[in-house]
Amino acid sequence: MASLREKTVTGVIWNLAEQITVRGISIFVTLLLAYFLSPEDFGLVAMITVFINIATALMDSGFKQALIKLPDAEQVDFNTAFYANIILGFVAYLLLFFTAPIISDFYAEERLTALIRVAGLVVIINVFQVVQYACLSRALNFRVQFRAALPASIISALVAIAMAYSGFGVWALIAQMLVSAAMVIIFLWWQYLWRPTLSWSLTSLKSMYQFGYKLFLADLLDVVFRNLYVVVIAKTFSVSIAGLYFFADKIKELLILRVVTSIQNVTYPALVKVGSSDGKLKSGYKKLIIFTSFALSPLVLFLAGLAEPLFILLLADKWLPASHYLQLMCIAGVLIPMHALNLNILKVKGRSDLSLIIEIVKKILLVAILVVSINYGVTGILYGQIISSILALGLNSYFSGVLISYRLEEQLVDFIPNIMLSGLIAYMLYEVYKLQIFNELVIVFLFGPLAILVYLVSSFVLKLEGLRICSDILSNNLNKKFRGSKNNG
């Protein structure tokens, strides 16, 4: 039987495979759709996204995380969560349906009513994936998730591209959202054999709710305030500017947030199985933070350095302002992995109350910074995000220091070298582009790979711990595959 470490590494590989493949398709499709659609089309979707995400958070209500955390979950627990999600999903959709005209009036955009009522159906569709994902995550079975996400991504992409090409405008984006969710459900239920029965338990409901409702409130705060920027930009400036911001944010999300989510999805259930040993948790998280920052820092910061030439190469001029938004988003986003991993510690330790407290404090800071930064336009808002991200790291890491003795100072020693090296190379990359000696094609396809090579060589010369951890993971998996093929032979 595979060890927990082997299951975790395998889970990371499969989950990253899903993220790289599916998100790669999503990025390609997003760029392709940008040729047929306008910033205003993306702006309309941006304006309703916050409300769809709030309804989705209400539907989940923390039951997925509660099921993963539950040490000896039985069929009755899964049934209880499943039926609770169905009820909450329909309630959430009805709230969307009847508040759609109010949201339209708020934005003074009558087209939003129909868009919200149709797009909101995704909440009901996603009801049928919560327990399935919880079961698969508990078993560290991310292969099935990959096999569901990949065909769903391809099918929804083809539908969206066909509709955009045919002139359906914003409805192409809505269709992509609905078809993707529906296809994931179909492929999940086809491959994974968990099925609900008629049993349920009030005791189980109370137990999961007691843990989950605090995570729900924390998630709700995060959803509202993460999308607050789009709401404020759409209300204060214009739908088109909101569309440019949303487009840049979507690229950042596909490249950064989804990869971070994949690491969270694997490490949370894996570290729950470790138990209450603070020493093991600290050791595990230390390696995760070093590995994650080593792998993601160059991805994020090199994207910032290459954003402008990439947009010139791949998109029409109407999207160029979004490249500057993306640069600042990447600088703010380089700390996202550290935020996510620190918050995971609270969930592993069962301290959902602390997650809620941290989110409340962070949102108060966010609003205060936004009130000041909005006076300086969208660029000012993005600089405010960078400040918020830095301040949030101190809050997120404080309780890690309390719970597993992994203080901020130790974390800085572990991840700052990776960020500094990546930032230096990214800055040099940007300065070379600004010299205007080389065209965008050379910058992206020659200097981009060269930057990665310089990063790896510099890491070797500087003896960065992240390179050693990545090498160990790679060599261990190659050795395992070699031994397996040798035994089969």
Kindly state whether residue 269 falls inside one of the protein's structural domains. Answer: no
Kindly state whether residue 264 falls inside one of the protein's structural domains. Answer: no
Kindly state whether residue 151 falls inside one of the protein's structural domains. Answer: yes
Residue 270 has pLDDT above 70, yes or no: no
Residue 277 has pLDDT above 80, yes or no: no
Task: Find tokens 């205003």 and name the residue.
Answer: 40
128 or 482, higher pLDDT: 128
Residues 347-365: tens digit of each pLDDT: 777 776 787 788 888 889 9
Kindly state whether residue 270 falls inside one of the protein's structural domains. Answer: no
Neighbours of 397 (CB within 10 A): 24
Rounded CA-CA distance 218/57 in Å is 10
- Are 39 and 179 in the same domain? yes
- Are 168 and 293 in the same domain? no
- Are 108 and 202 in the same domain? yes
Rounded to 5 degrees, what angle do the CA atoms 456, 324, 305 make?
15
Per the CB < 8 A criterion, the answer to whether 122 and 49 are in contact is no
408 by DSSP, 3-state: which? helix
Residue 369 has pLDDT above 80, yes or no: yes
Residue 251 has pLDDT above 80, yes or no: yes
- Are 84 and 188 in the same domain? yes
Identify the weakest region by mean pLDDT among 190-204, 235-249, 386-400.
190-204
At residue 31, what is the residue type? L
182: confidence class by pLDDT, cuts 50, 70, 90: very high
At 17, which helix (H) or strand (E)? helix 4-36
Pick the last residue of a domain from 237, 260, 284: 237
Kindly state whether residue 242 falls inside one of the protein's structural domains. Answer: no
- Are 221 and 146 in the same domain? yes
- Are 459 and 326 in the same domain? yes
Positive or negative torsion for Cα 266, 53, 222, 366: positive
Domain of residue 362 covers 275-489
- Are 441 and 347 in the same domain? yes
- Are 342 and 489 in the same domain? yes
Task: Find tokens 């350095």 and name the residue.
Answer: 305
- Are 220 and 292 in the same domain? no
Q: Which H, E and C letters describe 45-109, residue by residue?
A: HHHHHHHHHHHHHHHHCCHHHHHHHCCCCCHHHHHHHHHHHHHHHHHHHHHHHHHHHHHHHHHCC
Residue 477 has pLDDT above 60, yes or no: no
What pTM value is reported for the model?
0.80
- Are 224 and 281 in the same domain? no
Provide the 8-state DSSP code for 463: T
- Residue 1 pLDDT: 42
- Residue 180 pLDDT: 92
Residues 395-411: tens digit of each pLDDT: 888 877 777 888 888 88
Kindly state whether residue 250 falls inside one of the protein's structural domains. Answer: no
Pick the last residue of a domain from 237, 265, 298: 237
Kindly state whether residue 243 falls inside one of the protein's structural domains. Answer: no
- Are 313 and 227 in the same domain? no
142: confidence class by pLDDT, cuts 50, 70, 90: low
CA-wise closest residue to 49 among 185, 147, 170: 170
- DSSP secondary structure of 165-233: HTT-TTHHHHHHHHHHHHHHHHHHHHH------S---HHHHHHHHHHHHHHHHHHHHHHHHHTHHHHHH
Pick the last residue of a domain from 189, 221, 237: 237
- Residue 10 pLDDT: 53
Tally of domains in the chain: 2
- Are 408 and 302 in the same domain? yes
Rounded CA-CA distance 341/263 in Å is 9
Q: What is the dihedral of CA 341, 347, 351, 357, to 10 degrees?
A: 60
Kindly state whether residue 322 falls inside one of the protein's structural domains. Answer: yes
